[in-house]
Chain A
Amino acid sequence: MSDTTENSRRSFLTRGGTGWALFTAASVAGLGMCVRFLFPNDPFEPATKFKVGYPADFAASVNGVVDKRYKTRGVWIVRNLDGFYILSTVCTHLGCTPNWLEAERKFKCPCHGSGFYATGINFEGPAPRPLERFKVSLAPDGQLQVDKGKKYQQEKGQWEDPASYLAMEYTA
């Protein structure tokens, strides 16, 4: 068996090993690119932080008036005599969007019948916990600002957090 420099066992293993290593690395890189391609840099989703108008634009009542104007942005704005809070429109059962039924004063989910009071507390159907609330504050220009990036869950006691509501007495 000839063992020349050009064709020795050592050089065969080195070349073969390098070749396979490069091939594997290229395959993994290619596969990684394919997977990464499926995660867009910008999915063009609406901003999670937005202004919804001046406090004076909202009507109030003792038990709260539910404002549905920003439902397509995923929030209900509720105004009672003490202030504001923002409810998520995502049902805590399986993620459908409930409807506000003014006559019955409740949020009713069309998917599986979960019901919530204007406070967001669940009282009927399969929903296991209350609707979530979002951060609300006053922007420098005096408008209400909703931040969906920060959520507050009642069952975790987070509704006690001052940032989960905006205290502002109603003066008609």
Chain B
Amino acid sequence: MKLITDSQIWKSIFRHKYPDNSRDQALAVLSNVFLHLHPIKVRKSGVRMSFTWCMGGLTFFLFLVETITGVLLMFYYRPVVEYAYNDIKALRDHVPIGIMRELHRWGAHLMVITVWLHMLRVFLTGSYKPPREFNWNVGVILLVLTLLLSFTGYLLPWDQLAIWAITVGTNMARATPLMGHEGPGAAFIQLGDVSLVTAGSDVRFGLLGSKTVGAATLLRFYVLHCIAVPLGAGLLIAVHFWRVRKDGGISGPM
């Protein structure tokens, strides 16, 4: 054992002794790229289930579950009108572990619930107050990204429910102020007599890739669901954890 822990390879990876004292415990956290986002020390109250409900941790766990199951699903699913619906059925009928999509789906539902409960806990314990007000705002954006992940994932099965749910949902984008062609102010954005914000150029068109939910929309929502939103969420999660540490760790009971 000593031979291993004294070897150059071991020492090049671990820059501290076994963390049985405060100094090495701090080093263990600080010298690890993943753990450095975490507070070096956590108050005893901070790990009490009745105080935190562990909802932030569960949300992060579910984010990891969604990432892993989602990447696995990507090996089979093709975001093309001809294949999408049948690929979803094949994931149940012709692929081993036919519940992978269900895990992804139920994980998504659970994640929305845990995010809300996490917010409720943070609100009830007053943990949104200074100096944590910035982190509350990061959290609100993360809530929106969680809902956007659910919304973009909703279309991918490409069944009737998906198509019409996204049709109804994206119709709201028509009424976006200035950027939606039925929204307030859009009529005033003109070049001479030519209206610049129309059904073929407004924010909804950009989201759908066409005027109605179709092949372009399926591909767009796939890219948003698998790349754009998860990347944004991943970055903000890192900021969120880092700010917990920087703002004084998990808040104490009032």
Residues of A within 8 A of B (CB): 35, 38-40, 43-45, 94-96, 110-111
Contact = CB atoms under 8 A, between A and B. Distances in A.
Interface string B210-232: 11100010000000000000000
Contact of A111 (B168, B205, B206): B168
Nearest to A93: B168
Chain B interface residue bracket vs A: 10 to 19
B168 A43 contact: no
A43 B171 contact: no
Contacts of A96: 164, 167-168
Contacts of A43: 200, 205, 209-211, 216
B125 interface: no
Contact of A39 (B164, B201, B212): B201
Contacts of B168: 94-96, 111
A39 B206 contact: yes
Given A38-B206, A44-B210, A95-B167, 18 more contacts: A35-B206, A39-B201, A39-B205, A40-B209, A40-B216, A43-B205, A43-B209, A43-B211, A45-B212, A94-B167, A94-B168, A94-B171, A95-B171, A96-B164, A96-B167, A96-B168, A110-B164, A111-B164
A35 B203 CA distance: 11
A39 B206 CA distance: 6
10 contacts: A38-B209, A44-B210, A45-B211, A94-B167, A94-B171, A95-B167, A95-B168, A95-B171, A96-B164, A111-B168
A126 B216 CA distance: 30
Contacts of B167: 94-96
A5 B164 CA distance: 69
A44 B209 CA distance: 10
Nearest to A38: B206
B81 to A, nearest CB: 13
A110 to B, nearest CB: 8
Contacts of B205: 39, 43
Contacts of B209: 38, 40, 43
User: Which among A39, A43, A45 has the greatest number of chain B C-beta atoms within 10 A?
Assistant: A43
Contacts of A94: 167-168, 171
Contacts of A95: 167-168, 171
Which of B164, B205, B209 is most buried by chain A, counting CB atoms within 10 A of its CB? Answer: B164
B73 to A, nearest CB: 25
Contact of A45 (B164, B171, B201, B210): B210
